[in-house]
Amino acid sequence: MTYGPETLEALQRDAAEVIARYPTPRSALLPLLHLVQSVDGYVSPDGIEFCAQTLDLTLAEVSAVATFYSQFKRKPNGQYTLGVCITSLCAIMGGDAIFDKLSEYLGVGNDETTADGMFTLEKIECNAACDFAPVMMVNWEFFDYQTPASAVQVAEDLRLGRPVAPTRGPDRVHSFREVSRVLAGFLDGHEDEGPSAGDASLRGRKLAEANGWAVPAPGAAAPAGAAAEGESK
């Protein structure tokens, strides 16, 4: 490994804190991969070696995990990952057009990083936010109801250093390395900022409250008119 003494010491200290959370050390591999990614900006060969030595795993075992999950990057990543959902609903609502416009604006294609290291652009298979389609994520923070123009505006604001806040989540977008450290399990003090759910996600709950609907208690009789258990409908 080529980590300097100070960097290596900090990594070892943080890794020990992470490992202590698990009954079996090797269970800490995923957060440790996020940890080295927060230092190097991607899962580097040094990061692979550090995880292997720390957890007494082989390089092949660590590499197998690092290449399986798309959040782990095996080449230098941009400061901001722009992930555009292109799964069915978002695509129908304009996800493909958003990706194409961003690709044109940034001059890169899928899973490519701009020359200045500012942005990595990628297509994402479902951001799990279909009620806000089309959706873009910036370092895994949600930007709902996007258009090609609004997505480009987000990228331009980030490039110019303007404050950019996601639709839901923290008060501003944090860098890829900062977010990787949070994913490693180290809170940054921004976890309680901003809304965690939007109106579309809460609409069913609001309807239930307005109509006095509630989940029956365990063992309670079925409401009048409900089909008996096992009865065909």
Structural domain of residue 101, as residue ranges?
80-174
- Residue 152: burial class (beta carbons within 10 Å; 0-12, 13-18, 19+): middle
Asked if residue 185 and residue 142 are part of one domain, the reply reads: no
Mean pLDDT of 63-86: 96
Q: What is the pLDDT of residue 217?
A: 84
Asked if residue 98 and residue 48 are part of one domain, the reply reads: no
Asked if residue 69 and residue 95 are part of one domain, the reply reads: no
Number of domains in the chain: 2
Asked if the model's pLDDT at residue 195 lies above 90, the reply is no
Whether residue 18 contacts residue 180, with contact meaning beta carbons closer than 8 Å, is answered with no
Distance CA 55, CA 40 (A): 19
97-146 pLDDT, tens per residue? 999 999 999 999 999 999 999 999 999 999 889 999 999 999 999 999 99
pTM of the entire structure?
Answer: 0.85
Q: What is the pLDDT of residue 215?
A: 84
Q: Which among 90, 101, 71, 49 has a CA at the least distance from the CA of 176?
A: 71
Asked if residue 136 and residue 23 are part of one domain, the reply reads: no
Asked if the model's pLDDT at residue 164 lies above 90, the reply is yes
Q: What is the pLDDT of residue 222?
A: 57
Q: What is the pLDDT of residue 224?
A: 58
Cβ count within 10 A of residue 28: 23
36-59 pLDDT, tens per residue? 999 999 999 999 999 999 999 999
CA distances from 8 to 35, 66, 94, 197 (A): 12, 20, 45, 39
* Domain boundary, last residue among 143, 174, 205: 174
* Domain boundary, last residue among 121, 144, 174: 174
pLDDT, mean over the chain: 92
Q: Which among 111, 103, 195 has a CA at the least distance from the CA of 155?
A: 103
Q: What is the pLDDT of residue 233?
A: 42
Asked if residue 90 and residue 38 are part of one domain, the reply reads: no
Q: Is residue 114 part of a domain?
A: yes
Q: Which among 161, 122, 116 has a CA at the least distance from the CA of 139?
A: 122
Mean pLDDT of 151-160: 97
Mean pLDDT of 178-182: 97
Q: What is the pLDDT of residue 230?
A: 44
Distance CA 176, CA 118 (A): 10
- Residue 53's H or E segment, with its range, is helix 45-55
Distance CA 125, CA 86 (A): 6
Cβ count within 10 A of residue 13: 9
Percent of the chain's residues with pLDDT above 90:
79
Distance CA 198, CA 200 (A): 6
Q: What phi and psi values does residue 142 have, to the nearest 5 degrees?
A: -80, 135
Handedness of CA 124, 126, 127, 131 (dihedral sign): positive
Q: What is the pLDDT of residue 231?
A: 46
Q: Is residue 219 part of a domain?
A: no
| Tally of residues, the chain | 233
Q: Which SS3 state, helix, strand or coil, does residue 84 take?
A: strand
